[in-house]
Amino acid sequence: MGTYAVTGSASGMGAAVVDRLRSDGHTVLTVDIKDADVVADLSTPTGRGAAAREVLERCEGRLDGAVLAAGIGPAPGADRPQLILEVNFLGVVDLLEAWRPALAAAGNAKVVVFSSNSTTTVPLIARATTDAIIDRDMEKALRRIRLLGAKMAPSFAYGASKIAVSHWVRRHAVTREWAGAGIRLNAIAPGAILTPLLQQQLATPAEAKRIKAFPVPIGGFGDPDHLARWVTFMLSDAADFLCGSIIFVDGGSDAWFRASDW
């Protein structure tokens, strides 16, 4: 049985992953802004530093895996774009950089980062924007996002945060520090999954209309526990040869938008 760190553990898909791992007999260290072993606000450098340290202390320097599910959606608000970049990008990469030695210590660790099918379905996000996020130049990224229009800025920030984190995963997965240390670093890209994050978006009539009009060939919304099953598979021995992949589980939307574009 292994020891896993799971962020975003208090709700939705993170909570479903925790339930599955614990029922399989694993030890899970949960991280969230509420109701967790490690309570920390991943939108601040202090919170991210405390979360990283506390998990390392509790796991005694060895992690068999990590699931980075903490994230916030594109709700309205002038501060929202910055918050999205902090939680959805830095809340993943700051923790993973700190935990990398503990993951390497396990010899065959698996990491699953929550991306999104917004990476391929939200238009107009330039490479310069996502590269600025990866370079931690958030001011530049936010300036570029706001050029696309204040009203849609949270949606563009959300898509940009998920593209940036996916590029970060693929760039790092194949390096000596990650693959070379036996760490399998991958991401899952869900479509619309019925969790509190999606329910918050559905509560706004204009957003609900947009979400319901979005092409999902299979139809309907995804189930959080189905996604948790994909994640636990990606953490299992069956995923030993999976490295740097972004796994889309989205009812077919990504294929619908870019059937031949890959």
From 19, 26, 27, 41, residue interacting with ligand NAD (rule: CB under 6 A): 41
Q: What is the largest CA-CA distance in the chain?
A: 49
4 classed as catalytic: no
| C-alpha to C-alpha distance for 87 and 77, rounded to whole angstroms | 15
Is 164 an interacting residue with respect to ligand NAD (CB under 6 A)? no
Name the token pair of 233: 């598979």
| Nearer Cβ to ligand NAD (70/234) | 70
Q: Give the separation between CA 80 and CA 158, rounded to whole angstroms.
A: 9
Cβ-based nearer residue to ligand NAD, 68 or 106: 68
Rank residues 106 and 119 by Cβ distance to ligand NAD and give the closer one: 119
User: CB under 6 A: which stretch of 11-19, 119-127, 166-174, 238-246 binds ligand NAD?
Assistant: 11-19
Q: Is residue 245 part of the contact set for ligand NAD (CB under 6 A)?
A: no
Compute CA distances 181 → 84, 103, 187, whole Å: 30, 8, 18
- Rounded CA gap, 90 and 44, in Å? 9
Tokens in use for 78?
């002038």
Q: In whole angstroms, give the CA distance from residue 228 to residue 225.
A: 5
Q: Is 30 left (phi over 0), alpha (psi -120 to 50) or beta?
A: beta
Q: How far is CA 226 from CA 108, 159, 219, 233, 262, in A?
A: 24, 23, 15, 11, 26
What is the C-alpha to C-alpha distance for residues 65 and 234, in angstroms, rounded to an integer? 10
Between 64 and 86, CB nearer to ligand NAD: 86
Closer residue to ligand NAD in complex, CB, 13/185: 13
Q: Within positions 80 to 99, which residues make up the interface with ligand NAD, using CB under 6 A?
A: 87
Site membership for ligand NAD, residue 13 (CB under 6 A)? yes
Interface residue with ligand NAD among 2, 5, 11, 159 (CB under 6 A) is 11
User: In the window 19-38, what residues touch ligand NAD (CB under 6 A)?
Assistant: 32-34
Rule CB under 6 A: is residue 193 a binding residue for ligand NAD?
Answer: yes
Catalytic residue among 4, 114, 156, 158: 158
The residue range among 65-73, 98-106, 135-143, 146-154 that interacts with ligand NAD, by the rule CB under 6 A, is: 65-73
What gap in Å lies between CA 82 and CA 218, rounded to an integer?
Answer: 33
With tokens 């189930």, the residue in question is 223
By the rule CB under 6 A, 71 interacts with ligand NAD: yes
What is the per-residue binding string for ligand NAD in 172-191, x denoting contact by CB under 6 A? ------------------x-
Chain positions contacting ligand NAD, by CB under 6 A: 8, 10-14, 32-34, 41-43, 69-72, 87, 114, 116, 190, 192-193, 195-198
Give catalytic residue positions.
158
